Amino acid sequence: MSGSDRRKLRVLSGVQPSGSLHIGNYLGALVQWRDLQDTYENFFCVVDMHALTVPENVRAAGLREKTLEVAALYLASGIDPARSTVFVQSEVSAHAELAWVLTCVAPLGWLQRMTQFKTKSDAASTVGSGLLTYPALMAADILLYEADQVPVGADQKQHIELARDVAARFNDLFGPTFKLPNPMIPPTGARVMGLDDPAAKMSKSTGEKAPGHAIGLLDPPNVVKKAIMRAVTDTGSELNWAEASPGVKNLVTIFAAITAETPDAVAARYEGRGYGYLKKDLVDVVEAALTPLRARYTELRADPTYLHGVLDAGAERARAVADPVLARAKVAAGLGRAR
C-alpha cells in the first residue's frame, strides 16, 4: 500500500525491554498510544534489539522474559490488538536489514552528536558499536512502516529528527523512497523526573538500582505509596505554584498527566496547602490508574497462549507492511542483482 491510498495516517513507536517500565514510560508513551488508536493505523513494537545495545544489562534482566513483560504491559495499558499491530522487533527481520543500509547512510558525526549516546557511553567502561548506530536501527523501525507520527517522550525527539534526516539523505542519494516522520510529544508528562532526584529523568536503569527513584508500573501499592510520600519537594511545606521547585512541579505534572488536566489546574487546587495533601491524593490518582493495569497484566501473564497469539499475528502483519518497503529500499540502494 503506498502512502497516498492509505485511509488513516500511521504511527509507530516502541519501548526497550531493558528494565522495569515506569510511570514516565506510561505517560510519555503508552497513554498517548492508547488514546490515538482510533485515529491512526498503529504499529507498536517491543524493541528487543535496541535493548541489546547495552549487553551487560541484558544478562542480568533476562531479555526474552522482559520482552514478554513489556508486550503484556502494552496490552494492560489499553493497547488493543484488534486496532493496533503489536509485535517484537527481532521477529521482523526487515528491521535488522534496513538498519544496516541506514547505518551506511548515516554520517558518523550525526550519530556521535546524539545526547543519549554521549550520556550512555560516558557511563560505560566498554561501549558496543551498536550503542552508536542505535539511531539507525530506530530509523529503520520508523521508516519501514512509513510512519507519519512517532508518539514518544521528549527524550526521543532527537532520535526521530535524526531518522528524518537519514530518510532525507537516503532519498537524496537514491531517489524518493522514504516518508519523513514527525515526533509526537504529549503536552504534559513528556519528561517525568526521578522522585528522588528531580534533576534527573526518571529512567528504567536507575529505577532498578535506586528504590524511590521511579514509580514502577508493576510495583506493589505500598512501594508506590512510599516512593511518592518520600519524593523530594523543597524546604518549604506549602505549595506556591509560581515558585515551585522542580520536585513539586514533577509531582503536579504526573498528577495532571494522569487525570488529563493541565498542571496549572491541578496546582490551583493545592495552592497554599501542605505538600502532604498533594502527595496523598497523588497516591490515589496513581493507584486508580495502576490497579486495573496490574490486574490485567496478571491475567495476561497467566494465559501465555493469548499473548503469544497476539505477537505471532502482529509479526505477520508487520512483515506484510515492512517487507515491501525494505525491498523497495534495497533496489533503490543498488543491493541484489540487476534483472
- In angstroms, how far is the first alpha carbon of the chain from the final one? 24
Task: Please identify, using beta-carbon distances, which residue of 112 and 240 lies nearer to ligand TYM.
Answer: 112
Residues 263 and 256 sit within 8 Å (Cβ to Cβ): yes
Q: Is 188 in the site for ligand TYM (CB under 6 A)?
A: no
Q: Which residue's C-beta sits nearest to ligand TYM? A: 28
d(CA 228, CA 283): 7
CB of 224 to ligand TYM, least distance (A): 16
Strands 182-184 and 84-88: unpaired
CB of 214 to ligand TYM, least distance (A): 8
Task: Please identify, using beta-carbon distances, which residue of 191 and 319 lies nearer to ligand TYM.
Answer: 191
d(CA 50, CA 18): 8
Among the residues of 80-128, which ranges form H helices? 94-105, 108-112, 115-123
* Binding-residue pattern over the window 201 to 230 for ligand TYM, x denoting contact by CB under 6 A: xx----------------------------
Cell of 206: 536507575
Residue type (1 letter), 139 = A
Q: Is 120 in the site for ligand TYM (CB under 6 A)?
A: no
Stretch that binds ligand TYM, among 96-104, 189-197, 216-224, 300-308 (CB under 6 A): 189-197
Q: Is 155 in the site for ligand TYM (CB under 6 A)?
A: yes
In degrees, to the nearest 5, what angle opens at C-alpha 171 toward C-alphas 139 and 110? 50
Residue 285, burial from CB neighbour count under 10 angstroms (0-12, 13-18, 19+): middle
Q: Which of 15, 227, 244, 282 is the binder for ligand TYM (CB under 6 A)?
A: 15
d(CA 321, CA 247): 44
Q: Which of 11, 20, 29, 97 is the binder for ligand TYM (CB under 6 A)?
A: 29
CB of 334 to ligand TYM, least distance (A): 26
Active site annotation includes 201? yes
* Binding-residue pattern over the window 122 to 141 for ligand TYM, x denoting contact by CB under 6 A: ----------------x--x
- Residue 85's H or E segment, with its range, is strand 84-88
Active site annotation includes 279? no
Query: Which residues does residue 86 pair with via DSSP β-bridges, in sequence order?
Result: 44
Greatest C-alpha distance within the chain: 75
Residue listed under C-alpha cell 533496489: 331
Q: Is 256 in the site for ligand TYM (CB under 6 A)?
A: no
In degrees, to the nearest 5, what angle opens at C-alpha 183 toward C-alphas 140 and 265? 150
Task: Please identify, using beta-carbon distances, which residue of 48 and 275 lies nearer to ligand TYM.
Answer: 48
Q: Is 190 in the site for ligand TYM (CB under 6 A)?
A: yes
Residue type (1 letter), 2 = S
Q: Which of 101, 136, 142, 283 is the binder for ligand TYM (CB under 6 A)?
A: 142
CB of 245 to ligand TYM, least distance (A): 18
Active site annotation includes 120? yes
In the complex, the residues that contact ligand TYM under the rule CB under 6 A are: 12-16, 24-25, 27-29, 47, 50, 138, 141-142, 150, 152-153, 155-156, 159, 190-192, 201-202
Positions marked catalytic: 120, 201, 204
